Amino acid sequence: MSGPAGTDVRGADWYGEDLSGQEHTRVAFSGVDLSETTDDGAVFTECTFRDCRATFTGTRLREADLTGVRASGATLRHLDLSGAELSEADLGGADLRGSDLTAVDPRSVQLTGAEIDVAQAVVLVTALGLNVRPDAPD
């Protein structure tokens, strides 16, 4: 199922819908309830999501252009963000645990209050140019 390119979807209740195989291009989603949706192979190209209830878990966003994304407080767990463009993104307060953050530049992404795991902390600290080493005995 493919939606017409360049359309708007406003206030739709897609709770629990199966979006598998759907393709959406240049669609603006506003106030859409995407809770509990499943999507095996759905493609969203040049889409905008505003005021949506969209938790992403286990989603492949490799090499996606997420420049300026505002996802503060969002749940973004176990995402493949490798190679994604995230400059000027706001991920403050987001739950990012388990996601690949190798493409995140902590100098250009808002991360205040975000939840991350220890492995991600090492990735971000290394991105800042710091060397992480065990404490040497005196």
Q: What is the pLDDT of residues 10-33, one digit of tens each?
A: 999 999 999 998 999 999 999 999
Please answer whether residues 31 and 51 qualify as being in contact, where contact means their C-beta atoms are separated by less than 8 angstroms.
Answer: yes
Q: How far apart are CA 51 and CA 113, in angstroms?
A: 20
- Res. 1: pLDDT tops 60: no
Domain count, the chain: 2
Residues 105-124 have a mean pLDDT of: 96
pTM of the predicted protein model: 0.79
- Res. 4: pLDDT tops 70: no
Where residue 96 sits, what CATH number does that domain have? Answer: 2.160.20.80
* 116 phi, psi to nearest 5 deg: -135, 165
Kindly state whether residue 136 falls inside one of the protein's structural domains: no
Q: How far apart are CA 10 and CA 46, in angstroms?
A: 17
Kindly state whether residue 138 falls inside one of the protein's structural domains: no
Given 36, 54, 72, the domain boundary residue is 54
Given 38, 54, 70, the domain boundary residue is 54
Looking at the fold, whether 15 and 82 belong to one and the same domain comes out as: no
Domain residues for 11? 1-54
